[in-house]
Chain A
């Protein structure tokens, strides 16, 4: 990863045209340096765009995009929008990763000041590699609504947000549900908070997968979800919403859903899931699936009547770059996410 972080070559430019020209010039320099006979190939699978409003977000985004670019060769564009600053458009362009004959990432860091900051789509469009999917990652830009302009939705293959990054999880989920309703199938949203629940969803789905356990899915009595921190997190609600929507739980009545935080002061991992328990009873028999985080592992125990089994799996890395690469490699079903969000909104309202 470090080799991707250091630029092979870089240049500065003022304005969009100049940024494109400098990018070409960098490729030409590399070609000359590597010797004409060697050839020079650019492989890319996507355009990765990060929209930020704070310099530290932009640095975080650039570091993450470089890591993603090492797995998905890409043109990465980091835009730092400063509407309150004087009007300007300054770009740093650089080539990274691979080796001199085959850089895997082109990075454009663009700082936009003044009025143009409100027209990001127009700024990004000329810099994109044609006919390659565009992933737009919106970092903590409050209000999140900015991400959902019709232009942006039209231009992008996927808009990546982190619904867990906002204080009010119920309001954030409600906003997302509202936008999904507004755009319908046209909005392709990816949510890092949802992605972080993946190991827990997999654990639960797998625990109920043996044919003998499946019938219990229809007879779940209690779902308990615990997260780190002081408030029930978006992730916790999303997990509960996912179970409720997949299993078509009624809008009221059973099963009992108990979503809460463990109340402990959490430094880095506030909101992260730490425990999930599913209890079911059918014809006088019981089944309990219990998942618990311990360090960087997820311990699962499945007890069906008197037979019990355990397993421990590594919890995959959950940093932004890893999550984004994963969701780019493997799109999960958007309708499942949308249904989970809608149910999460209902459940959190009921609990309030």
Chain B
């Protein structure tokens, strides 16, 4: 019905002048989000609470629906009741009976079977019902919240069921969760298999880091402030450090972590994305392809670490027992489902060089680890020292004067989490007759400046996908470039496994192994302490 009214309508009748000037101009077309793995942890903790928050705030259209797909038998009522509990427990937005009623009326369950032809028939007929009753017009988002091994079989079944290709002008998109492969070859294989069923524009690879307000703010910081960009290069920046430190251990996911490790779990995706955003050239506009083109260019310019150099350019670590946040923490090897003699890295540090005009000679030091002293994600931009100090001998320290090169260089810290904010360290004169200089930190905390609650990363990303905006999703070539860098390291590590007797090599609740400190000392630099 709707479609033929539209085809008869001249162009000016397809406009909606009412939307102009409204804050909520970003409203997706009515659609159905199908969540595979609806009984899983991610669905309950993140996806449904995020969709509920969007609904409560009026960011979803009337007729929006969710179909929870599971291999196990599940009816609408049971699904609604389980999701209500999930929202009550995990949503940022309080559960409100009236809002829930409206939201729940668009929640449906469908079971499916991956192992037989026609195993998606029940789901397909449920979607047809939803389209008819709720006006979703064939628009679909498939969220594959299932283990990696189930991703390709599911995509194939969707294809066989004719659900990958949008019908009647609607859209069909698929959201794929990390990990995107285990190395370069498997990532390429995954991409090429997915491309058999979906065009790249239909695939949304989710990295929840990109949905964080603080990460988006990095783009604003870099490209909406004229004062930093002229300094953002090898001439003024000595080096960049990116740290993703976690205080938690493997939290019962020992089996997964034994397969993954810190490099795959954090560096290949989150840290590489942060590095791309910090290092990329200014995009000419904020469209998905333009931004992602710039990110890929940066990743392409990263010099791969030759497997033979892996040991000198990286540090691996694994935590032993210790104390974190005042609690005793078990060693990694004592975690559930971890092999007693495991050599899996829970800490990694590395130095990467970027071979382009902007960054040549300015290294990026990256580190990620579990059971470190505190949870902190931040980017430290260390500027070069002043070329000459006229204040020799006038630097105030508790012990007296120091040589000029001890005057601390400027440091800009972009804190992603927790306590999102920006600090700038600079030198100032200590009041008094003498010329005494001291470093002061100027801290800007978003938390105490904008108390507005930030949306959860998944809210932003789900909404973007429904709107067809892929800017904050990883494209196939980004993923591939990140794997190119990480796979070279993995190859090097495989060729030179760590000495079993040297693992674990750091105590839980510290900043990682001593080798990480020595690694920086060698370059005459030191890790910033978050």
Contacts and interface: CB of A to CB of B under 8 A. Distances in A.
A209 B19 contact: yes
Given A206-B24, A209-B16, A311-B64, A102 B445 contact: yes
B29 to A, nearest CB: 6
A333 B21 CA distance: 5
Interface string A297-308: 111111011010
B388 interface: no
A329 B96 CA distance: 26
Contact of B102 (A39, A201, A311): A311
A59 interface: no
Given A72-B450, A201-B18, A300 B62 contact: yes
A50 interface: no
A56 interface: no
A283 interface: yes
A41 B443 contact: yes
A241 B60 CA distance: 26
Given A41-B442, A98-B448, A312-B101, A208 B55 contact: no
Given A211-B14, A314-B99, A43 B449 contact: yes
B14 A215 contact: yes
A243 B93 CA distance: 31
Interface string A39-75: 1010101000000000000000000000000111100
A253 interface: no
B487 to A, nearest CB: 44
A282 interface: yes
A296 B8 CA distance: 40
Contact of B62 (A72, A246, A309): A309
B30 interface: yes
B137 interface: yes
Contact of A202 (B22, B56, B98): B22
A206 B448 contact: no
B58 interface: yes
A214 interface: yes
A327 to B, nearest CB: 10
B21 A311 contact: no
B1 A330 contact: no
Given A204-B18, A313-B55, A307 B1 contact: yes
Contacts of B23: 198, 202, 330, 332
B1 A212 contact: yes
B310 to A, nearest CB: 41
B6 interface: yes
B220 interface: no
A32 interface: no
Contacts of B18: 201, 204-205, 208, 217, 243, 246-247
A299 B16 CA distance: 21
Interface string B331-370: 0000000000000000000000000000000000000000
Nearest to B450: A71
Contacts of A145: none
A97 to B, nearest CB: 7
Nearest to A295: B98
Interface in A198-255: 198-199, 201-218, 243, 246-247
Give the most central of B15, B133, B442, B443: most A CB within 10 Å: B443
Given A39-B443, A202-B24, A211-B6, A313 B57 contact: yes
Contacts of A85: none
A338 to B, nearest CB: 11
B135 A309 contact: yes
A307 B129 CA distance: 12
A334 B61 CA distance: 26
Contact of B440 (A39, A304, A310): A39
B226 interface: no
Contacts of A213: 2
Contacts of B57: 313-314
A167 interface: no
A246 B3 CA distance: 24
Contacts of B128: none
Nearest to B19: A205
A114 interface: no
Interface string B38-82: 000000000000000001111011111000000000000000000
Interface string A82-110: 00000000000000011100101000000
A309 B30 contact: yes
Given A202-B58, A311-B62, A208 B16 contact: yes
Contact of B449 (A73, A215, A295, A299): A73
A207 B62 contact: yes
B55 A311 contact: yes
Given A202-B23, A208-B16, A332-B23, A313 B99 contact: yes
A294 interface: yes
Contacts of A243: 18
Contacts of B137: 210, 212
B251 interface: no
B92 to A, nearest CB: 13
B5 interface: yes
Given A210-B135, A215-B5, A314 B29 contact: no
B441 A39 contact: yes
A296 B360 CA distance: 58
B117 interface: no
A349 to B, nearest CB: 23
Contacts of A217: 13, 16-18
Contacts of B29: 209-211
B2 A210 contact: yes
Contacts of A329: 452
Nearest to B30: A210
A285 interface: yes
A309 B62 CA distance: 6
A336 interface: yes
A218 B63 CA distance: 22
A203 B125 CA distance: 31
Contact of A297 (B3, B99, B441): B99
B444 interface: yes
Interface in A328-345: 329-330, 332-333, 336
B134 A309 contact: yes
B449 A246 contact: no
Contacts of B16: 205, 208-209, 214, 217
B386 interface: no
Contacts of B1: 212, 285, 304-305, 307
B413 to A, nearest CB: 14
A211 B14 CA distance: 7
Given A212-B5, A311-B60, A311-B64, A39 B17 contact: no
B102 A309 contact: no
A307 B135 contact: yes
Nearest to A302: B62
Interface string A267-288: 0000000000000001101000
B27 interface: yes
Contacts of A300: 62
B434 interface: no
Contacts of B61: 206, 209-210, 311
Given A210-B61, A294-B98, 19 more contacts: A39-B440, A71-B452, A102-B448, A198-B22, A206-B62, A209-B29, A211-B29, A212-B3, A215-B13, A216-B5, A246-B18, A297-B96, A298-B58, A307-B2, A309-B63, A311-B61, A329-B452, A330-B23, A333-B21
24 contacts: A39-B442, A45-B449, A71-B451, A72-B450, A98-B448, A202-B22, A205-B24, A206-B58, A208-B16, A208-B18, A210-B135, A214-B6, A214-B14, A214-B15, A217-B18, A246-B18, A285-B5, A302-B62, A307-B135, A309-B62, A309-B135, A311-B62, A311-B64, A313-B55
* Across the A-B interface, the 9 shortest Cβ-Cβ residue pairs: A212-B2, A312-B102, A333-B21, A205-B18, A309-B63, A313-B58, A98-B448, A215-B9, A309-B62
